[in-house]
Amino acid sequence: MSFLKTPDGTDIYYKDWGTGRPVVLSHGWPLNSDSWESQQLFLAENGYRVIAHDRRGHGRSTQTWHGNEMDTYAADLAFLMDSLDLRDVTLIGFSTGGGEITRYIGTYGTARVAQAVLVSAVPPLMLQTEDNPGGLPLAVFDGIRAGSLKDRSQLYRDFADGPFFGNNRPGANVSQGMRDAFWLQGMAAGHRNTYECVAAFSATDFRDDLAKFDIPTLVVHGDDDQVVPIEVGGKASAALVKGAELIVYPGAPHGITDTHKDQLNGDLLAFLNSYAA
């Protein structure tokens, strides 16, 4: 197993598959790098070095008491990129991971980065505020926090059985295995870490970070995303990144890394192959 120890003593677990130009995958809440296994295998088999890490507090990384916010997540990502001396990287972030890579670019720039991809991602800002009236009410996120304190295991069951994969839509047929994998990964994360991460993914304002994107950027979002609605996430982010390409998956839910993995894998590979150093 591969780990890097950050300056504050946190062990960050990562998988490093394949050879070629590097791709770094940042996962969603409350998951870990296992959630990327389809994309990681596919892209590694198609000529890329693909690295996926467990965010601090998630999966096999240290369950730290502090640092459960975007600035630290981005600092950990920067430490990984610097430690492995990765260059011409394509950063791909799903959901909360989209926030992580966005804050990374906003803070550390694009000296090491060639491309960015936001998949069902939380930027620009999920929370409804005076200057973001289209966001989701605070009560939505307070409800997630309350559910976590009351019965975290059941909260993850409810997410997996309902909105995350769109299994609450008529005619949906999401496998039990797919739903179980979400629950299992969630329960492998730390209780405090996932609780505090709710504020990180919902209340962090990424608008200034997105304005600093100066690289080719792909935004992929399902138009039936019940977790990060497309108007709040994908469409708003694409409008803030100059030249961004937006691909909309009709009828697709939040968890398209699983439910639409073949389509997503193809779109990611096409975007990766479009880069000319």
Average pLDDT on 68-94 reads 98
Q: What is the pTM of this model?
A: 0.98
The predicted-structure confidence for 173-190, as pLDDT tens digits, reads as follows: 999 999 999 999 999 999
* Secondary structure (H, E, C), the chain: CEEEECCCCCEEEEEEECCCEEEEEECCCCCCHHHHHHHHHHHHHCCEEEEEECCCCCCCCCCCCCCCCHHHHHHHHHHHHHHCCCCCEEEEEECHHHHHHHHHHHHHCCCCEEEEEEECCCCCCCECECCECCCECHHHHHHHHHHHHHHHHHHHHHHHHCCCCCCCCCCCCCCHHHHHHHHHHHHHCCHHHHHHHHHHHHHCCCHHHHCCCCCCEEEEEECCCCCCCCCCCHHHHHHHCCCCEEEEECCCCCCHHHHCHHHHHHHHHHHHHCCCC
Catalytic residue numbers, as ranges: 95, 225, 254
Q: How confident is the model at residue 276 (pLDDT cuts 50, 70, 90)?
A: confident
Residue 123: asked if its preceding bond is cis (omega within 30°), the reply is no
| 132-146: pLDDT as tens digits | 999 999 999 999 999
91: CATH: 3.40.50.1820
Q: Give residue-wise pLDDT tens across range 143-175.
A: 999 999 999 999 999 999 999 999 999 999 999
- Per-residue pLDDT at 1 exceeds 90: no
What is the mean predicted confidence (pLDDT) over 50-72?
Answer: 98
Quick: pLDDT tens for 221-270.
999 999 999 999 999 999 999 999 999 999 999 999 999 999 999 999 99
Task: State residue 135's pLDDT score.
Answer: 98
Give the residue numbers spanning the domain of 256.
Answer: 2-273
| pLDDT tens per residue across span 97-115 | 999 999 999 999 999 999 9
Number of domains forming the structure of the chain:
1
Q: What one-letter code names the amino acid at 232? A: V
Q: What is the pLDDT of residue 191?
A: 98
Residue 274 has, within 13 A of its CA and on its CB side, a CA count of 15
pLDDT at residue number 272: 98
What pairs with residue 89 in β-bridges? 113
